[in-house]
Structure 1
Amino acid sequence: MMAKIESAYIHIPFCKQMCHYCNFVKYYYTEKRATEYLQALEKEIEAYLPENNHKLRTIYIGGGTPTALNTDQLIYLFEIIHKKIDVSQIEEFTIEVNPGDINEEKTKILKDYGVNRISFGVQVMDDSMLKELGRIHRVEDVYQTVDLLAKNHFHNISLDLIYALPHQTVEHFEKSLQEALSFQLPHYSTYALQIEPKTVFYKKHRQGLLHRPKEDDEVAMYNILKEMMAANGIEQYEISNFAKPGFESKHNLTYWSNEYYYGFGAGASGYLPGKRISNVKPLPAYVDKALHEEKPILEIDTVGIKERMEEEMFLGLRKIKGYDERTFQRKFGQDIRSVYGKQLNELKSQDLLKDEQGVWRLTDKGMLLENRVFAEFILN
């Protein structure tokens, strides 16, 4: 039976300001380069989806800042999507939005073209820290954008926060989180700051100029995060994600369930049966390859059964509901213990995993040491 591909990620790599922590594929917005990019993107999507009205379950438009596009370009993007995909069948249609970068006209365009979920890049509720992060919005913009989205009947909104920021104390994080929770949104994604190569923060870190909180403070922030979310009726369903019941991200659950998806755009990655595909990142190279060659591919990695098993465990254990070993049996035709019995027993003895009637879950300690846990599932 042919494997179904039910999700698509679409990358829009344009920003009007470069954040100091971000290493995603991104470029300063100009109208000309964005128009050329959309023409190339249309060709790439056509190469993968030659038929119109393709059936998908989720679409996620990320960046960069997708709403950095002007109104005509935003309409062009959605027309491309509507031509190739039957949007009436989409269960979850997400676009990333930054506070202050969207107006009434753009908000109505999103609504008219079927977007039903907003991923909202707030990061921290503090103007001085926003400035240090290289963000151009301020806290006032967050309130205005929440009001604008509510006015246009967007109810499925996810707010992103980052913690363990330079100079951030535990008390400051708690205050920022409390203010973010006051919006009573149905979904929150909250990540510890990662120092990524080729970023402003990476250079500062190498120079000893980035003053991050101590590890104990970072652990305290994560524990406060879990406690305050629970107290507000927002359930943790993945290591870094929290939602009111029914508002879990269906698109991200595609990733964590190790299911297939298309990846369109510069630097995007897709996971198709037996292979992972990575697109070229440089903007001119992407545009040239997409317009003049069949597909703008940088490399294709073969995903054999060993790699599939490894990824199944890395991703599945991120979910709070855990990983059911019957799923492993169904997908691979093998008992999980015949492949990973030693690792599972050792991690259980170290109080990093727990087994509840064949469902394996990270313990609280395991969540804090997730990378150590996942490394145990690499097969030699």
Structure 2
Amino acid sequence: MPQPILPRRALLAAGLGAAALGAPAHAQQAAPELRWRLASGFARNLDILFGAAESFAKSVAEATDGRFQIQVSAAGETVPGDGVLDAVSGAKVEMGHAPATLGMGRNPAFALAAAMPFGLNARGQNAWWLQGGASELFSEIFAKQGLTALPGGNTGAQMGGWFRKEIRTVNDVQGLKLRVTGLGATVMAKLGAAVQATPGPDIAAALESRALDAAEWIGPHDDERLGLQKVASIYHYPGFWEGGAMLHFWINAEAWKALPKAYQAILKGAAAQVNQEVQARYDARNPQALRRLVSGGAQLRPFPQDVMEAAWKAANEVYADLSAKNPDFKRIYEALRTFRNEEYLWFQVAEYTYDNFMIRARARG
């Protein structure tokens, strides 16, 4: 049986208490008052993504009786959404919350900490990070960039996005002006798409003006909040480029080292709680959002098999090329691939069989 999930305050208080019990009385009384800044990579209207940083800050404040305050700013308020990692490593802010794909320009291996096309699902990504050695694999790479990272949520498998015209064959990808980021952009470009990295708040306008033919964002809940259903009607799935996209809390490495051990424990506990909350919120809210989108005219369409197969082939070619050029990528990709294969061996036996039965039972009413 799984262990019960403790309420946030109990979880964090336990972490603080354990650290405090092992410290002398004068150390317990000397917990410093700190004021940190956290730059989110997301706009305020994205309640789950931006809300994750707010939840984190609230937990830290509660666990320290207000002695450790973290001020959260949305994308563009302190730094641009795509500049979060630069701001953290450069000590413009102490913390950030964003996907690791923002660090691909520093090292393409960063992308593997978030998601890769045909990578792990959300449970697998979490298991790889927490129990499969990923945290240790990435810590050295991040440290070289002046960064420390804590898992900070997962979107789960994403949708393939909104298209003005249905993709019926892989030939329909040729010349497609597609908004997609990360390694997914590299794969889709290899298939002939004209990829763009349009910021989330600008996607709807770009689709409406026909600067884009199609765009992926995340999934029903967030896509609805951006109004993407108002400017395109074909809703393709799955977003094979992000089958379980992990987010991270980024901390300036020197700021992290300077923290008392008790405060480090509290940050780890707060991040762990948010890591659970984000996935739970998406899983709870996406079903009703999907119903609303479909009742409003969205046309659900799976990507054709030839598109999936062509993307799979292209993805593996991209990984082989990056592995030949970048030792960090090669080392981490090989570890991820091995873990992925073992995870799907297990999922095939239990999870998939159970889920497949339940999906069919639901269809039968």
TM-score by length of 1: 0.31
**Greater RCO (Cα-Cα under 8 Å, separation 6 or more):** 2
More helix by share: 2
More strand by share: 1
